[in-house]
Structure 1
Amino acid sequence: MRSTGPGFDSLPFLAGPREASAPTGLSMTGWPGQEERGAGSAPLLRPDGDLADLLDTMRRLRTILACQDNMLGSGAVIPSAIQQVSILRELSRTATGTTRHAVMDLQAAYAEFAGWLNDDLGHRGAGQQWINNALLWAHEADNELLIAYILLRQSQRAAETGDTAAAVALAQAAQRRGELTARMRAAAAQAEAGGHALSGDERGFTTTVALARDLAAQAPPPTAGEWASWCTPAYIAAHEARGWAHLGRHDRAVESYQHALRGWPAEFHRDRGLYLSRLAHSQALTGAPEQATHTARTALAIACGTRSARILAELAPVRKALTPWRDNPRVSEFTDELTHVTLGTENGPPCA
């Protein structure tokens, strides 16, 4: 039976959509297996001392989990991420002063990460709950850069649901927050450009994507733990391609996707699958079924390896775009494989 994402019944959350029950052994407030062992098995945390070393370790762990997420997929790391929030929640109950400030800052960062992980697994209701709380906790920590990053993420989520006005407005709000790094400004400008493209505003799209491109080119090499470290010139090119696709310019989209994927960083393996699936869609719509099928099959293999619901969702329109060539043996083989994988997700993870 398909899982429905981590549960939220034991913590006060902001109003919003709710997911169904959590998978066995995993909850918002606990750690894997806590239910079976009982409350007495909770880690004994006493936040009345100096937590600097512990929090520093947890920051480093978050960076490691983000790397594993890129390579192995969200399902491999979400239990560990949620466990860290559980620990931080316990610490925050008695921490005061600057110690509480530091705890809430890290708690907000992990909550944002958990929201991302749920989104990638297709648990959008759970993802919304996590990101709502990340924003609340980031405000308490008074972290302007993290607030801007969460607004950027909300812009991306709005674009995914077709809410173009919110996508543009939230990206613009992110750009107005305090002192942003060049990379954060680039990411927010790209999100705004995506909203303009979705609304059919080609002029707004080309203006803001050019700004994003320039800012990404000016940014120094990303550092570990940096917000929006993924926003590189290649990332901007991939999203410029998506903008051209939204505007119906699939010839330009193919060119931009191919430029972005040339030399794509190995550590962003899952994202490569996402952009390959979008490239395949544009290739099909420009009348290149053989190329589209080859590209889509590579994306499907990455979806299976990383258990990414996002990649599978992007492959659905590829199948539709290939309909005129359904009698082509290679096209038929791909659509059969995709159908098999998609049906398999009804009883378990992708490609289980």
Structure 2
Amino acid sequence: MDDVADCHYQRMDPLPESVWNAREVQDAVAANSPSSVIAFARRAHGLRQDELGALAGFSQSAISRLESGSNLAYDMRVLRIVQRTLGIPAHLLGLAEQGVAPAELRERGGTEALVALLGSGASSGAPATPEIVRELLVARRIINDADNRRVSAALKPAARDLYELTDRLRRSVSGEMRQVLLSVAALYAEFAGWLHEETDDWDGAEHWTARAMQQAQAAEDRDMVAYTYVRMSQLAARDGDHDRVVGLARAAQRERDISPELRVLALQQEARGLAQARAEAACMSRLDDAARLIDRIEHVDTDEYRVGSWTDIEHVEMQRASCLVDLGQPAEAINLYTSLRPRWGHVCPWFQGVHTAKLARAYAHRGDVEQAAAVGMDAVALARVSASPHVVRELRALSPWADTAAFSEVTAQVRALG
């Protein structure tokens, strides 16, 4: 008998987002075990394997193999349907919310195979086509989702190779297609800058971000120009130069006719600089402006990468809580973070980790060192899951409390992270 009963499936009512923050789920993600996440979700819904099979359109034996890990080669169709039936956040299984992501990338043979596949179309001398552009945008989404899930050194050469492929195609065409490929090249250059930032190569980060700006401007891609200003502002924040942080974020907002999501990102970044400058009223005003724009954002259901596709109210309010920490208002930050944590299960692990570490710092500033240490251990777990240096950097901001008895385990774990 075919394991697939039919092509139809039913969706269960969604579980609370706090379920996905459970230690069992995070340990399964850290161990790269989608099968364990699926089994956990099934049990959380109170289903037996045969009941899940009936809902998803598969036999009990197919579900059993999936949960045991023996079918994790994967059959992407089975994995996708089970994910949607149980309402599992896609990134916990290495999938994109829509389209392809790390699990599909593994099925295709990794980033090297993807570069070779795309490069074969260009090396044949055939002209660039809309189909090739689409594949490049899907590939950009794949490597972005892979990095969001877990930082990997293998992504840097893949991003560079895909950039060089795009740039080679761009040089071979003219007119509208050349302008489109300039925009795609800018997307890859910006991502290369991000990957260099993750490895503390700040010169490389600035070089690639500047290249992204040049190509975005040449393409007259206002959204990409605005986003590159935002990225420049983020790089300036490393030096604590709040004048540059604010100035570059405002430059992004001066670009004509940018999308609501780009304006939200620029407002958030301006608020970050204003918090560093201790300009509380202006900071909160910018975040209020950003929150009001959220309803104007229309997210496109696409496999392709889109700048700002992650923008939502949770990201805005997480930035607000972070600003409250910088403004010396730990109690207000704790209250806001506490209300947000049950709702941020869809946010990528490294971003959760950064803000969990900020919450730990807020508790420490308030004088609740034991609670700060407990939350700090949660951030350590997310640092392991994501392998993100951004989380580790934020954990190091807890160094004033490193020698306290309550922080002994956090301190040891942060040192072990490198």
Corresponding position of 1:211:
289
Which of 338, 355, 363 pairs up with 1:258? 338
Q: CA deviation at 1:264?
A: 0.9
CA distance in 2, matches of 1:107, 1:254: 41
Which of 360, 384, 387 pairs up with 1:280? 360
CA distance in 1, matches of 2:362, 2:154: 31
CA distance in 2, matches of 1:202, 1:222: 34
2:250 aligned partner, one-letter code: Q
SS in 2 for 1:243: helix
Corresponding position of 2:256:
178
CA distance in 2, matches of 1:173, 1:67: 28
Summarize the alignment of residues 304-319 of structure 1 with structure 2, pairs less than 5 Å apart. 304-319=384-399
Corresponding position of 2:414:
338
CA distance in 1, matches of 2:267, 2:248: 11
Please tell me whether residue 88 in structure 1 is matched to residue 174 in structure 2. Answer: no
- CA spacing shift, 1:143–1:44, aligned 2, 3 Å: closer
- CA spacing shift, 1:169–1:300, aligned 2, 3 Å: same
Corresponding position of 1:163:
241
CA RMSD of aligned residues (A): 2.3
Percent identity (aligned): 25
Please tell me whether residue 67 in structure 1 is matched to residue 141 in structure 2. Answer: no
Corresponding position of 1:140:
218
TM-score, normalization: structure 1?
A: 0.79
8 Å Cα contact 1:69-1:76 kept in structure 2: no
Runs of 4+ in structure 1 off by over 6 angstroms are 41-44
Deviations 1:16-41 (A, max 9, x none): xxxxxxxxxxxxxxx97xxxxxxxx9
Equivalenced residue count is 301
8 Å Cα contact 2:122-2:128 kept in structure 1: no
Which of 131, 144, 150 pairs up with 1:53? 131
CA distance in 2, matches of 1:221, 1:49: 31
Q: CA deviation at 1:55?
A: 1.4
- Computing the radius of gyration from Cα coordinates, the structure with the larger value is 2
CA distance in 2, matches of 1:47, 1:232: 42
- CA spacing shift, 1:259–1:116, aligned 2, 3 Å: farther
Structure 2: 5+ residue stretches without partners: 1-110, 113-118
For structure 1, which segment, 54-63 or 87-96, has the greater mean C-alpha deviation from structure 2 after superposition? 87-96
SS in 2 for 1:102: helix
Corresponding position of 1:35:
none
For structure 1, which segment, 73-82 or 177-186, has the greater mean C-alpha deviation from structure 2 after superposition? 73-82
Summarize the alignment of residues 91-102 of structure 1 with structure 2, pairs less than 5 Å apart. 91-102=169-180
Corresponding position of 2:72:
none
- CA spacing shift, 1:188–1:123, aligned 2, 3 Å: same
Q: CA deviation at 1:76?
A: 4.8
TM-score, normalization: structure 2?
A: 0.67
1:102 aligned partner, one-letter code: V
For structure 1, which segment, 261-270 or 60-69, has the greater mean C-alpha deviation from structure 2 after superposition? 261-270
- CA spacing shift, 1:178–1:74, aligned 2, 3 Å: farther
8 Å Cα contact 1:104-1:138 kept in structure 2: yes
Corresponding position of 1:241:
321
SS in 2 for 1:262: helix
8 Å Cα contact 2:179-2:219 kept in structure 1: yes
For structure 1, which segment, 310-319 or 127-136, has the greater mean C-alpha deviation from structure 2 after superposition? 310-319
CA distance in 1, matches of 2:317, 2:181: 36
CA distance in 1, matches of 2:396, 2:148: 22
Q: CA deviation at 1:293?
A: 1.3
Q: CA deviation at 1:222?
A: 5.7
CA distance in 2, matches of 1:79, 1:301: 28
CA distance in 1, matches of 2:390, 2:296: 30
For structure 1, which segment, 226-235 or 103-112, has the greater mean C-alpha deviation from structure 2 after superposition? 226-235
Q: CA deviation at 1:282?
A: 0.9
Summarize the alignment of residues 112-151 of structure 1 with structure 2, pairs less than 5 Å apart. 112-151=190-229
Q: CA deviation at 1:217?
A: 4.2
Q: CA deviation at 1:285?
A: 1.1
CA distance in 2, matches of 1:182, 1:265: 24
Corresponding position of 1:231:
311
Q: CA deviation at 1:260?
A: 2.9
Corresponding position of 1:297:
377
Which of 268, 273, 287 pairs up with 2:348? 268
Corresponding position of 1:220:
298
CA distance in 1, matches of 2:267, 2:292: 10
CA distance in 1, matches of 2:281, 2:124: 56
Q: CA deviation at 1:205?
A: 0.9
Corresponding position of 1:10:
none
Q: CA deviation at 1:93?
A: 3.0
- CA spacing shift, 1:295–1:194, aligned 2, 3 Å: same
Structure 1: 5+ residue stretches without partners: 1-30, 33-40, 343-352
